[in-house]
Structure 1
Amino acid sequence: MAHIQINDSHFQTLQDKVVVLTGGANGIGRAAVRLFHHNGASIVFGDVNDQLGLAVEKELNSPRAKFIHTDVTSYTSQLNLFRTAISLFGRIDIVVANAGISIPRDPFSFSSLDFSDDEAEIEKEFPTAEIDVNLKGCLFTARIGLFYLRKNRAARSKEGVLVSSIAGFKESTGLAVYTASKHGVLGLLRGVRVQAAREGVRCNAVCPWMTKTAMVAGIENGWRELQLPENEPGDVAKAILICATANRSLSISNNPNLNAEPQSQTGHPGATLPFTGKILFVAGGQSYEIEDKMNELEPLWLGRENSGVLEKGQEFLMREGTSWDTGKGKGKGK
């Protein structure tokens, strides 16, 4: 696990860059909108909360900040967000999939203790809005974002940032649907990072632990009694900006191999190039890269033989030209 030291001055490489961000009206998203704008970027941000979103736009009072009503569960709504950015600024350099919700009602905790006598509880379909917003919305953002980032051929560095959660890799009892959705975000990262890197787009994810937002109102008092670490929204915003700037103004390898040896230090000590396919865990205001160590230790937790065979299979699957589509890929090993 690498502790990444944030170099605030390196955020200045965002000057004149164009950012599209979802979920920017409050919490982590609002902090990120402010920080991108403060460092010279133009930002088009979406949210379903028009009142708060317009308040952020008014606060910034700048032609470089534009709020657009966006429902991330609607593909058409997200297309409108991205096309507005293209219309206003002509290109997109950075995409941040941040929109997320948590519903503090566990569909696996039944109110009736006598399951045999009362089936009314199981007849009620439970809400899946967390899947729709956190995962489906992220899928839409990633797909549309990668399309427009690829079109920006003049850019030397293009970034996609997915906001997951501690629940993306650890259990969160009582939040089963939320946990499934955030695990899915990391699955999306691992599913697109290699192909995206081949096309010049660096994709990374951020996994915040306890952060002072409206989502944690139900547990914050008990958390503080235990004196456990907390993040401010601005701490997580800085982790997002690490992902957006680590590859900028420095030598960038075109090698899509995520296990390649680091090429050089980035502007943020502790982060190494190529900064792609990384996962930043944010706790107590500090950022830690955890994916590289997970890969490094794979022979220990999976077994050396299993790890070796898996690596061979992964090399085949990541080979350019290999495709799961029977009518498209070569599908043959060498």
Structure 2
Amino acid sequence: MTSSYQKLQGKVAIITGGASGIGEATACLFVEHGASVVIADVQDTKGIETASKLGLHLATYMHCDVSSELDVENLIAFTIQTYGKLDIMFNNAGVWGKVIAQDVRDMDVEDFNYVMSTNVRGMALGIKHASKAMVEANIKGSIICNASISSILGDLDLPLAYTVSKHAILGLVRATASQLGKFGIRVNCVSPGAVHTPLLSSYIHELSSSTCMPSTKASQYSLLKPVDIAKAVFFLASDDSTAMNGTNLVLDEGYSSMRVAM
């Protein structure tokens, strides 16, 4: 691959939840286009394997629980110490939750807090500390958050806490894009439909074990591949998207636009 085609040549990126699924696919694409990548995850074995596959001179793994501010601070500090700067932050880590609750009357508050601490608090911490590093170094960086089609819909038979968290991510992106735009830092998000990832597989497994399996509307259209989402994240990370800030890029094969209300 020629350097003219490597649109992220010389860039340094962090990808949370980068050990598998969308994060792994994005890490592969970033490295392919010349970026150095820090893969952050709690799946240590898988994360180390992914970094090794990409090449340890191009990718590094670091354990990080995004709900912990200390972990996120250490992640940013490690990246700058190792590579000298931070250009791209992909806040990708997220969870379904441990309880499948389709009705607010069945909501488990502890599980709700668990989901929000990872999906919303984790994203907020990533934006906070990545943007601080970028502003201090006068880097006009790109911050991307992984939301979901659930950020614009509320009737997909998905866990309540998950849907609420994804709506919150959209608000977080819009608010921080407004604040950070004056520094030349762009904050955008991608909202995938159903993607063939370990996260979705685990949810489907939980549903199949449930005595009250819902008629998941999201199953009515084909699954996307992780690389489909990675390509959109790559676009938002590159200079090709310099005019985009505060954008929610929906990637669902038109499902949310064309679906018929039931």
| Interval of TM-score (by shorter of Structure 1 and Structure 2) | 0.7 to 0.9
> How many Å separate the matches in 2 of 1:99 and 1:67?
14
Taking structure 1 as reference, are residues 14 and 210 closer, same or farther at Cα in structure 2, changes over 3 Å only?
same
Deviation at 1:168, TM superposition (A): 1.1
> How many Å separate the matches in 2 of 1:208 and 1:236?
7
* SS of residue in 2 equivalent to 1:73: coil
How many percent of aligned residue pairs carry the same amino acid? Answer: 28
Q: 2:194, 2:219 within 8 Å by CA — same for their partners in 1? A: no
> How many Å separate the matches in 2 of 1:10 and 1:194?
32
- The 5 A counterparts of 1:138-217 are 138-153=123-138, 155=139, 157-171=140-154, 172-217=156-201
Deviation at 1:228, TM superposition (A): 1.3
Q: 2:224 aligns with which of 206, 220, 231?
A: 231
Cα deviations by residue, 1:110-136 (Å, 9 ceiling, x for unpaired): 9xxxx9xxxxx89x7541321111011
Q: Does residue 1:75 correspond to 2:75, yes or no?
A: no
Aligned partner letter, 1:69: H
Deviation at 1:75, TM superposition (A): 0.4
Q: 2:120, 2:165 within 8 Å by CA — same for their partners in 1? A: yes
Q: 1:229, 1:283 within 8 Å by CA — same for their partners in 2? A: no
Taking structure 1 as reference, are residues 231 and 59 closer, same or farther at Cα in structure 2, changes over 3 Å only?
same
Q: Report the number of matched residues.
A: 243
Larger radius of gyration: 1
Q: 2:151, 2:170 within 8 Å by CA — same for their partners in 1? A: yes
* SS of residue in 2 equivalent to 1:14: coil
Q: 1:139, 1:188 within 8 Å by CA — same for their partners in 2? A: yes
- The 5 A counterparts of 1:305-320 are none
> How many Å separate the matches in 2 of 1:49 and 1:142?
22
Q: TM-score, normalised by structure 1?
A: 0.66
Q: 1:48 aligns with which of 22, 42, 46?
A: 42
Q: TM-score, normalised by structure 2?
A: 0.83
Q: 1:130 aligns with which of 84, 103, 115?
A: 115
> How many Å separate the matches in 2 of 1:276 and 1:109?
34
Deviation at 1:138, TM superposition (A): 0.5
- Residue 277 (structure 1) aligns with: 246
- Residue 260 (structure 2) aligns with: none
Taking structure 1 as reference, are residues 283 and 174 closer, same or farther at Cα in structure 2, changes over 3 Å only?
closer
Aligned partner letter, 1:278: T
Taking structure 1 as reference, are residues 226 and 47 closer, same or farther at Cα in structure 2, changes over 3 Å only?
closer
The gaps in structure 1 that reach 5 residues or longer are 1-8, 116-120, 249-266, 291-334
* SS of residue in 2 equivalent to 1:188: helix
Deviation at 1:53, TM superposition (A): 0.3
